[in-house]
Copies of this chain bind each other. A is one copy, B any other.
């Protein structure tokens, strides 16, 4: 048996019309209990399942959402896949994965459109103008996840976005480090052109400035493990006193940084240098490092994404940029206040 049974065959076996079969499998259609029973019996016997391709050809709904990502090394993204996929599955949608380097985005876009997807989620990838316009042209709703293209383009093409409050998150880090009395605070940026890195740095710098401080040293890690390792080496190889605190634009890079600090430079964290990250990676990632980080909730972000997508797919709801608040979670990679070493208060 190569192909599974068709509605035609089920109809024949059940002694009803093909339409009846169709109705039986269409929620909320009018079928008598009797016919339905006959159809279900026949269907079960033949192992019949409606052909989603044929169905979507006519309903113009594939119930497929495309998820585009550029790389999964960063532990944050697997979590996104899992959460998004599960939430969508509950609503009867499915995720078609596209791994794409940034330069082949247009090619990928063409493939996506062929599958008549109902929506697109763009994660860890910037929406190029050409991509945005081909989306707009095809009328497929698209949500940018975690990163946004420059707002001008977003506004122009009416695209949606879900990000966390990166700017505020960056500020929270600055406030923490200043309150703990650090004096030589360094920063490792991600991809210079990504909105996440830019916003986090902006908030960070603003808060430092407000307190009359400024960043001590700065390097770029391009959101890669290797890049962050190199950036860390550079920050600590420069002449003058080494940094006493380090804000890294995401957890993935923060882990790389701590790896270098501990295993190459023989520095202790947090005794010699404190480290703060950003994102939300599972404990398996930050475990050994007990990384203090600004957590952006995958759960909330994905929920917002699904909701946005839904609204767009129904046709109501205008495009929006949803900003999810984030939260600072203290762990042992930041040195506690000097006057409170040990006991908490009292």
Contacts and interface: CB of A to CB of B under 8 A. Distances in A.
A1 interface: yes
Nearest to A108: B89
A72 to B, nearest CB: 4
A19 interface: no
Nearest to A114: B52
Interface stretch (A96-104, A147-155, A197-205, A301-309): A96-104
Given A89-B98, A89-B99, A288-B262, A138 B255 contact: no
A258 interface: yes
Interface in A15-40: none
B57 A51 contact: yes
A139 B1 contact: yes
B284 A225 contact: yes
| Number of chain copies forming the complex | 2
A51 B97 contact: no
A158 B313 CA distance: 42
A135 to B, nearest CB: 11
Interface string A64-75: 100100011111
A94 to B, nearest CB: 6
A337 interface: no
A85 interface: yes
Given A137-B1, A256-B284, A282-B73, A50 B94 contact: no
A4 B113 contact: yes
B255 A288 contact: yes
B60 A57 contact: no
Nearest to A117: B52
A53 interface: yes
A49 interface: yes
Contacts of A82: 71-72, 99
Interface in A84-116: 85-86, 89, 94-99, 110-111, 113-116
Nearest to A73: B282
B96 A94 contact: yes
Nearest to A111: B94
Contact of A53 (B57, B110, B139): B57
A225 B289 CA distance: 16
B115 A94 contact: yes
Nearest to A4: B138
A67 to B, nearest CB: 8
A141 to B, nearest CB: 11
6 contacts: A49-B110, A51-B57, A53-B62, A73-B78, A74-B284, A94-B97
Ordered nearest first, which 7 A-B pairs have the shortest CB separation? A288-B288, A78-B78, A259-B287, A72-B78, A52-B114, A95-B97, A85-B99
